[in-house]
Amino acid sequence: MKGMTIIVKNISSFVKVLIFLFGIYIILFGHLTPGGGFAGGVIIASSYVLLMLAYGREFAEENLSLSMTSKLDCLGALLFAAVGLFGLFYGAASFFWNFIHQKSWWGEPFNLLSAGTIPLSNIFIGIKVGASLFLVILILSSFRLETSASEKE
């Protein structure tokens, strides 16, 4: 499966950057405009999936390998849990305590840094959802090689 025709390859290599940028925008401005961690993460995953469909699995593997994605996936989840636990241990308050906003360290409404831990957890959720969904598609397609191998012999 060596990917699609030249036209698709050229366009997708350009469009992938745009999709990726759009995903980053959706994640970062999650607390101001509609969107957020989930939508942005899925958009980032779809940019990598586009690359994989256009160029074939091996090319995508070099770009973002299987083990790297699963590490990112676990890392994103751990960081999100850390945001929750930090609230627990820091002010001895409760689990998901929005300590940045409650202590009003920085940011006033309507600009990028405004909502305390919400942008932070948006970013971590975005990493996690993006990495895990790309991992699913990668696993599903890598499994195909094994079946076609068994069909051959």
Partner 1 sequence: MPYALCFLLFMIGLYCAVVKKNMVKIVIGILIMEYAVNLFLVMLGFRWGGRAPIITAEDMVGGSLSELFVNSSVDPLPQALVLTAIVISLGSLALMISICIRTYERYGTFDITQIRRLKG
Partner 2 sequence: MTIPLPVFVAIPLVTAFLLPLFGKKGKAAATALANLATLLLLVSAVTLVGQSRVYEIGKWSIPLGINLVLDGLSCLLLLAISVVSCATMLFSVRYMEQYTSKSKYLSLFMLMVAGMNGVVLSGDIFNLFVFLEIASLASYALVGFGCEHEELEASFKYMVLGSIASTFILFGVALVYGNTGSLNMAYISKAIQSSGMNAGLAFALCLFMTGFGLKAALVPFHAWLPDAHPSAPAPISAMLSGVLIKSLGVYALVRIIFNVFGVSVSVSWVLISLGVLSMVIGVFLAVGQWDFKRLLAYHSISQMGYVVLGIGIGALILARGGNIAWASLAILGGLFHLVNHAVFKSLLFLTSGSIQMSTGTRQLKELGGLTEKMPLTRTTCSIASASIAGIPPFNGFWSKLIIVISAVQAGFLSLAAVTVIVSLVTLISFLKIQRYIFLGELPENLQEVKENKGTMAIAMASLACLCVLMGLLLIPSLRESILEPAVTVLTDGMRYSTNIINM
Partner 3 sequence: MAIIFYTLLVFIIIAAFIAVETKKLLSAVICIGAIGFGASIMFLFLFAPDIAITQIVVEVLGLIILIRATISRDRTFIAGDREFFGMIVSLVIIFLIAVAGILVFPETLPDFGTPIFTETSNSASQTYVEEGMEKTGAANLVASVILDFRAYDTLGEATVLFTSIIGATIILRKKTKKLLEEPDL
Question: What are the residues binding partner 2 (CB under 8 A)?
Answer: 70-71, 74, 77-78, 81, 84-85, 87-88, 93-98, 102
Residues ≥6 apart with Cβ < 8 Å to 97: 87, 88, 90, 91
The reply to whether 56 sits near partner 3 by the rule CB under 8 A is no
Q: Contact letters (x/-) for partner 3, 86-125, by CB under 8 A?
A: ---------xx-x--x-----x-xx---xxxxx--xx--x
Q: How far is the CB of 33 from partner 1 (least distance, A)?
A: 7
For 56-81, letters b (16+ CB in 10 Å) and e give: bbeebeeebeeeebeebbeebbebbe
Q: Please, what is the end-to-end C-alpha distance for the chain in angstroms?
A: 18
The reply to whether 143 sits near partner 1 by the rule CB under 8 A is yes
Q: How far is the CB of 14 from partner 1 (least distance, A)?
A: 28
Selection from partner 3, partner 1, partner 2, none that 18 binds (CB < 5 to 8 A by kind) is none
Identity of the residue, 14 or 110, whose beta carbon is nearer to partner 1 in the bound complex: 110
Selection from partner 1, partner 2, partner 3, none that 9 binds (CB < 5 to 8 A by kind) is none
Q: How far is 120 from 27, CA to CA, in rounded Å?
A: 10
Question: What are the Cα distances from residue 46, in Å, to 128, 132, 143?
Answer: 14, 11, 19
- The torsion angles phi and psi of 32, rounded to 5 degrees, stand at -110, -50
CA 124 to chain centre: 8
Name the site residues for partner 1 (rule: CB under 8 A): 33-34, 36, 38, 109-110, 129, 133, 136, 139-140, 143, 146-147, 150
